[in-house]
A = this chain, B = another copy of it.
Amino acid sequence: MNKNNPHTTHPLFLHINRFTDIREDDFEEILGAFQTLKVKKKEHLMLADTLCDKQFFVLNGCLNMYFIDANGSKQTLQFAIENWWITDYLAFGNEQKTEFFIQSVEPATILSIDFSSQEQLLERFPKLEKYFRKVLQIAYGASLMRVKYQFELSKEEIYLHFTRNFPDFEQRVPQYLIASYLGLTPEYVSEIRRKQLS
C-alpha cells in the first residue's frame, strides 16, 4: 500500500477491508458516494415520520436511535459509535417513512449515503455487497444475542454485562440513555452504580 495515500488509513477503507478487499485506487470513488456531516451534540440526522433514505457510518462520535413512547419519553433502540452503521433498515430497504429518530450524543463526524447512491455504488463495486452482508450479519446476530440477554439476565446482570462489554459507553453516554437502551429506569442504574462504587 502507498503510505502517502491518506485513504489507506481512512476508517471506512480499513473497515471495508476487514470483510472484503477494495483497492485504494477505488476507494476515492467509493468515498465520493458519501456526504461527510459534522454534527453538534444533540443534532438530529433522522426524524420520525420522514422518509428514511439514508444510512450512516460513524467516523467519530456517538449516535442514538430512539422513538418517543406513548408517555412522551425517549426510548433508545440502538447506539452507534466509531465504525458502526446505523439506520432504520426496514424503512431504508423499503424507502419508507421511519418511526425513529437518530440524534448525536456528542459532537460527531458521520458519513451519510442515500439509498440510490448506495444502489449505484453496489452496481459499480459489487464487492461491497459482501461488506454490507457481513456487517448486517453481525448486526442481526448481535440483536439475537441482545434478545437472549433480555430474557436470561437479571436487571443488574444486564447492566453489568453491557458496561463490561462496552466500557467506552459508560464514559461517553449519559446514564439515562444507557438505562433507556437496556430497558431500565435511570434510578435503577444509579442504584447499581452506587452499589458498585461502595
Which A residues form the contact surface with B (CB < 8 A)? 65, 67, 69-70, 75, 77-78, 88-93, 99-100, 122, 126-127, 129-130, 132-134, 136-148, 150-152, 183
Contacts and interface: CB of A to CB of B under 8 A. Distances in A.
Contacts of A151: 67, 69, 75, 77, 183
A158 to B, nearest CB: 13
A2 to B, nearest CB: 27
Given A77-B147, A129-B126, A140 B89 contact: yes
Given A89-B137, A140-B143, 13 more contacts: A67-B152, A75-B148, A77-B144, A78-B144, A89-B138, A90-B141, A92-B137, A122-B130, A132-B137, A136-B139, A136-B140, A147-B147, A150-B150
A88 B148 CA distance: 11
- Identical chains in the assembly: 2
A95 to B, nearest CB: 12
A90 B144 contact: yes
Of A99, A130, A144, A148, most B-chain CB atoms within 10 Å? A144
A65 B141 CA distance: 13
Residue among A92, A134, A141 having the largest count of chain B Cβ atoms under 10 Å: A141
A148 B183 CA distance: 11
A126 B158 CA distance: 40
Contacts of A183: 150-151
Nearest to A181: B147
A151 B65 CA distance: 14
User: What are the 7 closest A-B residue pairs judged by CB atoms, nearest first?
Assistant: A90-B141, A89-B141, A129-B129, A143-B143, A136-B136, A140-B140, A133-B133
